[in-house]
Structure formats: C-alpha cells, structure tokens
C-alpha cells in the first residue's frame, strides 16, 4: 500500500489509537502430519492422547478464566466457561472418539470435527456465527497439546505502540494483551459481539473487526490508525488525522466529582481487577474504585497471599485515590471461579453452589480471617486508627465505624444470617487486632446485590450495613434464570428486562430511610444511554470499566433528577423489554 488508505470494518471499542503494525499468525505451527494408514493406528493410545490433551486444555482454559475475571470482570471471564463446555460437548467428544476408533489419529480427528463445527457456526447468523472463534480457540489448544507445538508469540510482551493485526483473535489471545502497550487491534474477521471484541472493550483497546481481506495487504511496520468509533483502519494516516487521534479519545476527562443539572451528586467510580488498572482509572477521572476485585491477589501463585501482601495491595489503591473511596469486594471464588490450590468443590451447577460469602464463612474461614485482618489494617491507613463497634444496637446504619475511604463488601449474599455472621467475623478480627495492639479500623461494610434474595431483603440488609452494590451481570442471570453464554437464551440475559429493573428498583427503595447508599458495579453502569434511568432509579454511585467514566460523567451533568425519576417510574411500569427500550428510545 502507498499513501494513505482507509479500510472499513466494524468499530468495537469507541477509542482511537495510532501505532506500528505487527501481524499475529498463531496457526502457522499447527501443520498436521500426513494421515497414516488406519490399520497402523492404535485407538487406545490415541484415546489416551486425546484425553490428556483435553485435560491440558481444560487447565489452561480455567487459568485464562481466572485471569480474565479479576482483570476484566465476570462477563468477560464467562467467555471461557463456554470454552470448557466445548471440551465436554458429547456431540464433539463422541465424534472424535468414533473417528479414533476407526483409525484416525487424535490430532486429525480433532481437526476434522472442529472444522465441521466451525463451518456450521459460520453458516448461522449474528452472534451464533461469532461463536466460531470460540471453537477455534479450543481446537488450537487441543492441537497444540497433541502436536507438542510451541506456544505462539507472547502477546503480553508486545512492544509499546503496537497495532496488532490478525486474521482473527481468539478470546485467549485478547485476554493476554497489555492495554498499556497495544495502541489498537484490527482483524480480518469477527464481529462486535464476538468474545474477543468484548474483551478488547473491557481493556479499553481501540479495535476494529471484520475489516476483510484487504487488511492482509497491510505490511508489518506500517503506521496504522485504528478508529474504533468510526470503524476505520487508516494505513499511513495524514498529519491531521494522526494529530486528531493522538489528541484524545471520547469526551474530555473530568477529574472532579459531578452532579446532575439540578445538583444531585453522583459518584462515578471504576471497576479494577489488578494493580495495573488503578493508574488508568485515575487517568480517566474516576471518583475512586467502586469494585476492587481482590481475587487477582490469589492467582498465578501456588499458595494464598500473605496478610502483608493483601494489606499492601489495598493500601496502594487507597494511596492512588487519597480523596476518594475504594470499595474492596472480599474474596469471590468458588463455583465457576477456580483457584487450584484452594481445592474448591466440584459441583454440577456451580452458579448455584458454594461461592463468595458462602465459602468465606465455611470452608475458607481461616482465609477470610486473614483477608479481614489485612482490610482492617488498611482501613486504619485510609482514615483512622480506632475500631468502631458494629455489634448489637450498632447495626442500625448509625454505627461508629471508622476507616476513612475504604469500604468492604461481601459477595453472593442471599441471607440476612450471612451478613450477621460476616459482621460478627469483622468484630472478632477487630478484637484480635486490638488485643495485639495492631493499628486497625473498621471500614464501611456493604453487600453485593446479585441474587433475587438480596433484592427482596434489601431493607433488612441496608439496616445492618453502610451500603449495597448492585451487580447487574449476575443479577440478570439469576433473575431471568438465563446463562449468559447460552445463545439460545441470550435475549433473556438482559438488564433491561422489566423483572431485572424491578429488582434494582426494589433494592434502592429498600435502602430508603436508612443511612445506606446504593451503588451499581455491573456493566449496565457504564452505558451512558442508561445513566438517566439509573439516576432515576435512585443509584448514588455508578462503577464501571475506566474507559467509559468520562462519557458517564458528562451524561450525569446533563440529567435532571426529577425528570429522571419520572422516566424510571415509566420504565418500571413496563411489562416487556420492548416497551422498556421504546421508553428509553433505544434500538432493538
């Protein structure tokens, strides 16, 4: 290509970046050997190889899932649940084993069966077609194990200013990227709802997908501009286009707190999954951290982090936001979130099993105590050194809790008894620290509202706690009994269903008359088109991926809270999702 050339695709992440093109071709080393005579193949040996490859792939998928969950959030991490399901899909496994029994080597049997499935998916429409990338991801993991092929280029070590070009990227590929190094992504294939595109958005990486074969003509080393808003890839951009891209993204960053047009203060915070994400949250003007996923401290290691490690990680986040609040979610593992060394239970339906606070109060009580010790010590660092009481009559929203800008919330709450038990544990840990003469304080304490039970019990929970935080991703799944990774019920997993909206409304109403504030830390909070509705529903705080903080802050400033309340009332009266979207003026 010569001069400036513009290629058109599908904008995935509404940001713009400029950098140096680098092609990624991970399938080049997955060439299959010639097929042998079937009579020379030992089916028992090939079955064993296939089973070993499945287990190797399963372990890698679970590790990728855990990493994605703590860095990118539940929705992005759930991508890998679908990948593991493919490993156990009887329609795939049985066909591969049948081919092996007929004298086909394991690698050829895997290749053939997955190619057939990929072709089938690509023949479908919409989101189903984009699931073909998930099949490719699983296929390549199996083939690498069977062929003993080297791992592809380590995408986590790309040089700064890289614009990554690829035929397509799998979710595993995208999850490895360092958003500080990658200036943009452009792919030949893929769609906006592909799992790789979803992860790219969560990482705030400018991305354009589905550019087509013309992208293949872009050489390594070319200067490339990726405009994820316009859906354009510009090769050799002129100086004006380049300057505009480098001048900023989206709306201007607003560092101060914001209020609605009529003066109602709304906190706009960031969700953070690792220490590396704290600085970008500051840069995007976040009013603190509304969800600090403590799970990241427990990954990529062979044993749990020490009390001191946990303390230092939380203190670092507090120091990054000296004038704002940092909300730490206590360890949220179990069920679908695996940490190998914790020996978590295998369950037939992990989403309805032992996870979050259920594990912390039972199997992992010792781990929970260490966790709380670190948090109470960090609370003293944030804003005080005297432990406030939370027992008995103090559980009425008017306690003497001290701790400045640190807040702690318990995940997967579904019973008042769980909250009472958790508060008792906090009180017990505080007493132990006081007896030791260790400086500590009791932070604000809250609960995640991600189950229908928590929504129904919001009044009782708010009377005992300082705040509630609505996790819309899980709440939508539990309210609608819909698996977010099951495309057959994708329309059910939508936070704009009237039932989900009423659960949110019940939560904010339940907190009325108490001193508890109510926030939201699900993906819904980061959609500027929904900001007016969420203000009208009574949310005091919205927490989201850092990339959308400026746009939401801008939208908050334009909201009239009285009009927002009227809008919320109208939406809550709707009986169908179509009616809700019509009231909100949304397409689809």
More confident residue, 579 or 133: 579
Among candidate residues 67, 63, 43, the one with its CA nearest the CA of residue 55: 63
Domain 258-584 superfamily per CATH = Phosphoenolpyruvate-binding domains (3.20.20.60)
For the chain, which residues make up each domain, given as ranges?
5-26+153-246, 31-147, 258-584
A 10 A CB-CB count for 332 gives 25
Architecture of domain 31-147: Orthogonal Bundle (1.10)
Residues 472-480: what's their mean pLDDT? 91
According to the model, what pLDDT value does residue 211 have?
93
329-350 pLDDT, tens per residue? 998 876 555 666 777 767 777 7
Active site residue 574: no
Pairing between β-strand 162-166 and β-strand 16-24 as defined by DSSP bridges: parallel
Active site residue 521: yes
Using alpha carbons only, give the angle 27, 32, 38 rounded to the nearest 5 degrees: 155
Q: How far apart are CA 221 and CA 223, in angstroms?
A: 7
* Residues whose CB is less than 8 angstroms from the CB of residue 330 and which lie 6 or more positions away in sequence, other chains included: 294, 357, 360, 368, 371, 372, 375, 408, 409, 410, 411
pLDDT at 527: 86
List 83, 111, 521, 574, catalytic entry: 521
For the chain, first and last CA: distance in Å? Answer: 39
Average pLDDT value for residue range 164-190: 84
Q: What dihedral angle (degrees, nearest 10) is formed by the CA atoms of 72, 76, 79, 84?
A: 30
Whether pTM > 0.95 for this model: the answer is no
Mean pLDDT for all residues in the chain: 86
Q: Which of 13-22, 371-380, 469-478 has the lowest mean pLDDT?
A: 13-22
pLDDT in tens, 293-322: 888 788 667 788 999 999 999 999 999 999
Tens of pLDDT along 67-111? 776 665 555 666 777 788 889 889 899 999 999 999 999 999 999
Given this model, what pLDDT does residue 72 score? 56
Class of domain 5-26+153-246: alpha beta
Q: Which of 130-134, 164-168, 577-581 has the lowest mean pLDDT?
A: 130-134
226 or 201: which carries more pLDDT confidence?
Answer: 226
**pLDDT band, residue 282 (cuts 50/70/90):** very high
CA 481 to chain centre: 20
Say how many C-beta atoms besides its own lie within 10 A of residue 262's C-beta.
11
Which of the residues 108, 195, 493, 497 is marked catalytic? 195
For 237, the 3-state DSSP assignment is coil
d(CA 523, CA 471): 8
What's the pLDDT at 369?
Answer: 97
Residue 234 has phi, psi (to 5 degrees) of -110, 120
For 286-318, the DSSP string reads: -SSEEEEEGGGGGSSSSSPPPHHHHHHHHHHHH
Which tens digits make up the pLDDT trace of 496-546? 999 999 999 999 999 999 999 999 997 789 888 999 999 999 999 999 888
| Percent of the chain residues past pLDDT 70, beyond the cut | 86
Report the pLDDT value the prediction gives residue 174, as an integer from 0 to 100.
Answer: 78
Position 45 confidence tier, pLDDT thresholds 50, 70, 90: very high
Q: Is 184 exposed, middle or buried (0-12, 13-18, 19+ CB in 10 A)?
A: buried
């Amino acid at each position: 290509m010569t001069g400036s050339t513009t290629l058109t695709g599908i904008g995935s992440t509404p940001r713009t970046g400029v950098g140096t093109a680098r092609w990624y071709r991970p399938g080049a080393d997955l060439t299959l050997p010639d097929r042998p005579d079937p009579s020379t193949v030992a089916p028992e040996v090939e079955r064993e190889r296939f089973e070993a490859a499945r287990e190797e792939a399963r372990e890698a998928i679970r590790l990728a899932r855990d990493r994605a969950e703590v860095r990118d959030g539940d929705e992005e991490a759930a991508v890998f649940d679908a990948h593991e399901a493919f490993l156990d899909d009887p329609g795939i496994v049985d066909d591969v084993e049948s081919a092996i029994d007929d004298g086909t080597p394991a690698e050829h049997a895997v290749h053939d069966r997955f190619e057939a499935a990929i072709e089938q998916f690509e023949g479908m429409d919409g989101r189903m077609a984009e699931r073909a990338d998930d099949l490719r991801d699983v296929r390549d993991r199996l083939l690498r194990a069977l062929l003993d092929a080297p791992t592809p280029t380590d995408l986590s070590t790309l040089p700064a200013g890289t614009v990554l070009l690829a035929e397509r990227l799998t979710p595993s590929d995208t999850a490895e990227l360092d958003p500080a190094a990658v200036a943009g992504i452009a792919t030949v294939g893929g769609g906006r709802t592909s799992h790789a595109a979803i992860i790219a958005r969560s990482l705030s990486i400018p991305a354009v997908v589905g550019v087509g074969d013309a992208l293949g003509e872009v050489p390594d080393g070319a200067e490339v501009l990726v405009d994820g808003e316009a859906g354009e890839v510009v090769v050799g951009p002129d100086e004006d286009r380049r300057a505009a891209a480098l001048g900023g993204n989206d709306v201007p960053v607003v560092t101060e707190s914001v209020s609605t047009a009529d003066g109602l203060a709304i906190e706009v915070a960031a969700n953070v999954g690792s220490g590396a994400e704290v600085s970008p949250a500051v840069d995007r003007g976040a009013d603190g951290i509304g969800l600090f996923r403590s799970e990241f401290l427990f990954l990529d290691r062979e044993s749990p982090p020490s009390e001191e490690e946990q303390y230092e990680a939380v203190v670092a986040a507090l120091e990054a936001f000296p004038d704002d609040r940092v909300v730490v979610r206590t360890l949220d593992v179990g069920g679908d979130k695996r940490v190998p060394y914790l020996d978590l239970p295998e369950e037939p339906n992990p989403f309805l099993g032992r996870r979050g606070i259920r594990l912390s109060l039972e199997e992992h009580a010792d781990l929970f105590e260490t966790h709380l010790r670190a948090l109470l010590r960090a609370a003293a660092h944030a804003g005080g050194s005297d432990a406030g009481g939370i027992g008995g009559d103090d559980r009425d929203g008017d306690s003497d809790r001290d701790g400045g800008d640190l807040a702690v919330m318990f995940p997967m709450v579904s019973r008042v008894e769980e909250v009472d038990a958790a508060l008792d544990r906090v009180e017990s840990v505080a007493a132990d620290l006081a007896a030791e003469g260790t400086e500590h304080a009791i932070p604000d304490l809250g609960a995640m509202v991600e189950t229908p039970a928590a929504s129904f019990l919001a009044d009782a929970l708010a009377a005992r706690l300082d705040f509630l935080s609505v996790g819309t991703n899980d709440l939508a799944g539990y309210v609608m009994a819909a698996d977010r990774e099951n495309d057959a019920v994708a329309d059910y997993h939508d936070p704009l269903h009237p039932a989900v909206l009423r659960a949110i409304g019940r939560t904010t109403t339940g907190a009325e008359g108490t001193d508890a504030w109510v926030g939201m830390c699900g993906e819904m909070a980061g959609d500027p088109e929904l900001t007016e509705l969420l203000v009208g529903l009574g949310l005091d705080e919205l927490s989201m991926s850092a990339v959308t903080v400026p746009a939401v802050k801008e939208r908050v400033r334009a909201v009239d809270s009285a009009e927002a309340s009227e809008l919320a009332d109208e939406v809550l009266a709707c009986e169908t999702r179509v009616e809700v979207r019509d009231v909100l003026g949304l397409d689809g």
